Structures are given as structure tokens and as C-alpha cells.
Amino acid sequence: MTAIDRQMDAPRAAPRPARNARQRKDTRTAFAFLAPFLILLLVFQYVPLAMMAKNAFMDYSLLNPDAAKFVGMLNFEDMFYFDDARESLAATFLFALIVVLIVIPLGFVLALFLNSTLPARALVRTIIMLPVVTSAVVVATMWNFLLDPSNGLINGVIALFGLPRQPFLTSPNQALIMISVMTAWQQVGFATILFLGGLQGVPKELSEAARIDGATRWQVLWNITVPLLSRTTLFVVVIMTVFSLQAFAPAFLMTDGGPNSSTNLIVYHIYKMAFVMQNAGYASALSLVLLLIVLGISLLQMWLLRAKWNY
């Protein structure tokens, strides 16, 4: 800007200092209100994120993190070279898949029930929410005893029908299924609440009109309610998947990742690598992989939910 321009601008710019002062003051006030939040966010989210990205390429232990050594891609090469990461990720994905396959249909049906006019709705809602508010530790402890081979409640029920007792958590074929069933049992109330929110957004006129036109209840459910809930369903699938990928307590408390690594969930594997084996660089690399998987799922969800089929 030349001097002449500035001179020419001068008369018009006259009221500006007052407005600028006001704006500056507002900006200062805004950052004063935001500062505590932003500082903590920076220190406890962004700094760890940067450290993780760096540490994934280091070899170090948490006992002496200052003696870290740069090792390039070695941690990632190890992931391909040894079986542990692949096995752990496979177990974690299978776990998440079983949880989702149980939780989605069951949560949907329970939400239909809670959205109806049938009796005992309030009682059912309270009861299915009890496991949701109970901690993962207490649920895992509880199921540890429910699944006990000799004196557990579930084997007691099985014995009632004259069937042979099951080993459950010590069987390589049953352990992962059992911790998935347990996690689904704990989360189904949460899924139900989410589905219920979706159902309450479905306009009643649609199903009423279809009923008048002679559609059966089943047809209304299958051709109107289910398609209208596809956004909610995708959303619940993503929440449950992301939640399951981060499960820790079942492996820690019930199976120690076994038998034969069949329940070696990824977060438990990361925990063991970092805090027991003191191989924090490798644990950081595993964490980075988990982070990228979860980010990928979230981005996929956003892409699928872009406003197009918004009801």
C-alpha cells in the first residue's frame, strides 16, 4: 500500500480503531476462556500423539526412556516378521465382529420393544442398562465366575439340561467366543438406547400409511423401519467396533491373552509389550497401527454418512 492510498483510506478507516479494539478485546477474552481447555488438550492429546509417531521408530524401555535409540522401520518389520501382531489383530477383529453380530440384531429388537406400547418397558430398559453402567472389571470378574468349569453358574445351567460341562475360558475354541458374548451382553443396552433414538426419529405417518394400505407389520418393519434406520445402524456398528477394538479387561482378567494367544486383544498386547516386556518402541508402533485402523473406520463412517441419505 502506498502513502497516497493510505491517505485516501484514512477518512473511511476512522471508526476502525474502536472496532478493532473491541475485536481484540473479544479475542483476548475468548482465549482466556479457552486457555485451560486448550493447554490440557495440547499436553495430553497432541503431545502424546507426536511422541507416539516418533517413538514408533525408536527402541527404548519405559524404565529408561532417555536411552532411546532410533531404529528406523525395524518395529514395523518385526510386526511382519513375527506372528504376534498378526495373531493379535486377527483375534481383535474376530472379537469385534462377534460383538457386533450379536449386539446389532439384539439391540434393534430390544429398541423396537422399548418403542412399542407393550407392558414392562421401563423394567426392561433398567435391567438391560445395568451391565452398561457396571465397569468392565466387575463384568469380567463376574463372568470369570459365571464361566468357571466346575462351580460356575453357566455350567450349572448346562448341567440342568443334562449336557456335559464346558471348559470355556481354557479352551482355545471357546475362550474368544465367550469374552465376545460377555462384551456383547455388557454393551447391548447401549446399542438399544442408540437404536431407540433412531426409532423415535422415524415419522409415524409412514408406517401408519403403509398399514392402511394393507402392509403387514413384518412388511412395515422390513421395508420402512429398517431402511430408515440404516444411518443409525451404521453408526452403532462403528461405535461398537471402535469400542471392541480397544477392549482390554477381558484379556487381562480372564484369559491372559490365551489359550494359544487366541484372546490376545491388541490393547492387552500393547500393554504387555510396553509395561511387562519393556519394549516400548514396539508397543508404540502397535499403538500407531491401532490408531490408524480406528481413524480409518471413523473416516469411512463420515464418508458413508455424508448428507446424501439423511432422513
Cβ–Cβ < 8 Å for 178, 147: yes
Q: Which stretch binds another protein (CB under 8 A): 13-21, 33-41, 72-80, 81-89?
A: 33-41
Q: Does 137 bind another protein (CB under 8 A)?
A: yes
Quick one: which of 93, 123, 230, 306 contacts another protein (CB under 8 A)? 123
From candidates 107, 131, 250, 257, binder to another protein by CB under 8 A: 131
Long-range contacts of 148-151 (CB under 8 A, 24+ apart): none
Q: Nearest Cα to 52, choosing from 242, 289, 276?
A: 289
Give the number of residues in contact with another protein, rule: CB under 8 A: 95
What value, to the nearest 5°, has the Cα angle with vertex 13 and ends 9 and 14?
125
- The one-letter amino acid code at 7 reads Q
37 contributes a contact to another protein by CB under 8 A: yes
Cβ atoms 182, 143 nearer than 8 A: yes
Question: Which span (13-21, 91-99, 171-179, 234-242) binds another protein, by CB under 8 A?
Answer: 234-242
Binding region for another protein (CB under 8 A) out of 8-16, 203-211, 215-223, 246-254: 246-254
- Compose the 67-106 pattern: x for residues touching another protein by CB under 8 A, - for all others: ----------------------------------------
Measure the CA–CA gap between 309 and 311, rounded to whole angstroms: 6
Nearest approach in angstroms of CB 215 to another protein is: 18
Minimal CA–CA distance to 293: which of 256, 238, 248, 232?
238
Q: Near another protein by CB under 8 A, which window of 4-12, 30-38, 81-89, 208-216?
A: 30-38
User: For residues 249-278, which are near another protein according to CB under 8 A?
Assistant: 249, 252-254, 267, 270-271, 274-275
User: Do 244 and 95 form a contact (C-beta atoms < 8 A)?
Assistant: yes
**Per the structure block, which three cell numbers stand in for 182?**
460377555
